Amino acid sequence: MQELSSLFQGFAVVLTPMNIGLMFVGIILGVLIGVLPGLGGANGVAILLPLTFSMSPTSAIVMLSCIYWGALFGGAITSVLFNIPGEPWSVATTFDGYPLAQKGKAGQALTAAFTSSFVGALIAVVMITFLAPLVAKFALKFGAPEFFSVYLLTFCSFVGMGKGSPFKILIAMALGFALAAVGMDTVTGQLRLTFGMTELMRGFDFLIAVIGLFGIGEILLSMEEGLEFSGKSAKINPKVVWETWKELPKYWVTSLRSSLVGMWMGITPGGATPASFMSYGLAKKMSKSGKNFGNGEIEGVVAPETAAHAAGTAALLPMLALGIPGSPTAAVLLGGLLIWGLQPGPLLFVEQKDFVWGLIASMYLGNLVGLIVVLSTVPLFASILRIPFSIIAPVIIVICAIGAYTVHNAMLDIWFMLGFGVMGYVFKKLDYPLAPLVLALVLGDKAEDSFRQAMLVSQGDVMIMFANPLVGSITTLALLMLFWPLISRLIRLVRPAKVDDLAAQQPVD
């Protein structure tokens, strides 16, 4: 029960007027980011990160994580009202959310979406509260080979669980590592891959990549569709909320199952998008009203939203306990920790108690605040989407440029951002996943360090990755994940699988 007392200490840290205020600011900014095309959780946090350089780490993470919750909530608004998923993880929400809105039940759909998001997040936070300290304590015993094997598992999971060509996942990942290697080598001090350009000495900052890939890339993609948005309007009044809440406990099995799916996919870097699809698919198969899914079934909104939010929250567990983020947004938050001078990893729970437990406490409060804010302000945010795209698009590009500049006060970074934008657009269209690229870019140096240390210990013998049962089993699991595309092909040869329509609609994240 030590966790509980730590948690209450955390509440004491967070419950200052300043932090509560930042929480509201964060949530509102987050919902705004989630609603606007071209701004998402990852690049929204990346753009706002420089503004927090002068804050105390706890206040900064409270605001930034609230932006993240807000973005998770915000994605549902556009899916239900406009049939446009604001974020990749809300694609599955459109399947039943939009039909509900067409029937004039937008209020119910949104209430169900927000409430189940809240429930998913809450269950995941409870899990983090009790599991994260244990994982961190366990990880304190890790040496370099163990850490490298965990990195390996993280990246191999992308190949094993990702959708699309395994080659493309590998390339995205390796490209991230290669970009991370540009600049000064942390061990020998040699300049790598700079080709004599002094400007490249600084390397490629992942924040620039995130802003370009997700921000500019997304704008270019939405430009293809043209400039018009059309959507349904929604009014949420307390009566609708109450009616929907009375109905929701019926779906507790779905909620619980979806949270479990979400938490699993969040801790392993499967991410929120596959989690939402998987849980929608499971609910469709197992629910009594499964046949009616796709025509406006509340349960079809509950399942993906719960899972997405649970996954988004659970992605912070490996980030906190191991220093390995489970999603691009968690990666950006991890980058924030480094900038604020905190060393992410298992020691964080020992050395920065206030920070860690403040963050966990703010997850509870932030989601509660988020639920209240979104339920009361939906019409306002929906009206933002009615602002014509020809005003929103240039403003977002300007915001991205400002965000890219403020990272290092470097003009060249704005050009890089534009370059990453074009890359993001082309990669997205060709189904190259962006999440592994970003994670590799963030973790590049650390993964490389642990690899070199491990090699140093063993004098270049790769078998150190199987030296003891712990590191051996993690490495084996990682290799299994890496070759899963081949293994599953072999299995399919023996036993042909039936075609899954739902999986075809899942975007490559």
Partner 1 sequence: MSHETPSEDDAPAVARNCTVDAVVAAILLVLGLVVVVEARRLGAGWSSDGPGAGYFPFYIGLIVCISSLGILYQSLLGKKRDTGTFVDRQQLRQVMSVLWPAAVYVLAIMFLGIYVASAIYIALFMIVLGKYPPIKSVILGVVINAIFFLMFEVWFKVPLYKGSLDPLRFLGY
**Residue span 210-249 as binding mask against partner 1, x where in contact by CB under 8 A, dash where not:** ------x--xx--xx-xx----------------------
Minimum CB distance to partner 1 smaller for 290 or for 507: 507
Write out the H or E segment, with its range, that includes residue 137: helix 106-139
> Rule CB under 8 A: is residue 178 a binding residue for partner 1?
yes
The amino acid at residue 196 is G
**Residue span 179-198 as binding mask against partner 1, x where in contact by CB under 8 A, dash where not:** --x---x-xx-x-xx-x---
Please choose, out of 84-92, 257-265, 373-381, 398-406, the segment that lies near partner 1 by the rule CB under 8 A. Answer: 398-406
CB atoms within 10 A of CB 222: 18
- The least distance separating partner 1 from the CB of residue 161, rounded to whole angstroms, comes to 18
Please choose, out of 197-205, 250-258, 387-395, 491-499, the segment that lies near partner 1 by the rule CB under 8 A. Answer: 387-395
Closest CA to 129 of 370, 337, 321, 335: 321
Side-chain half-sphere exposure of 495, counting CA atoms within 13 A: 3
Task: Give the integer Cα–Cα distance in Å for 174 and 203.
Answer: 16
Retrieve residue 147's tokens. 């850490």
- The least distance separating partner 1 from the CB of residue 81, rounded to whole angstroms, comes to 22
Task: Give the integer Cα–Cα distance in Å for 219 and 283.
Answer: 33
Minimum CB distance to partner 1 smaller for 72 or for 482: 482
**Residue span 31-50 as binding mask against partner 1, x where in contact by CB under 8 A, dash where not:** -------------------x
* One-character DSSP codes across 119-134: HHHHHHHHHHHHHHHH
Q: How far is CA 130 from CA 2, 4, 68, 141, 352, in A?
A: 9, 9, 22, 19, 17
Task: Give the integer Cα–Cα distance in Å for 426 and 220.
Answer: 10
The footprint of partner 1 on residues 437-496 (CB under 8 A) is 448, 451-452, 455-456, 460
Contact call for residues 162 and 443 (beta carbons, < 8 A): no
Choose, by CB under 8 A, the member of 411, 486, 491, 503 that binds partner 1.
411
Choose, by CB under 8 A, the member of 170, 467, 477, 479 that binds partner 1.
170
> Rule CB under 8 A: is residue 425 a binding residue for partner 1?
yes
> Rule CB under 8 A: is residue 368 a binding residue for partner 1?
no
Sign of CA dihedral 291, 297, 302, 308: positive
Residues of this chain that interact with partner 1 (CB under 8 A) are: 50-51, 54, 165, 167-168, 170-171, 173-175, 177-178, 181, 185, 187-188, 190, 192-193, 195, 216, 219-220, 223-224, 226-227, 388, 390-391, 393-395, 397-398, 401-402, 405-406, 409, 411, 414-415, 418, 421-422, 425-427, 429-430, 448, 451-452, 455-456, 460
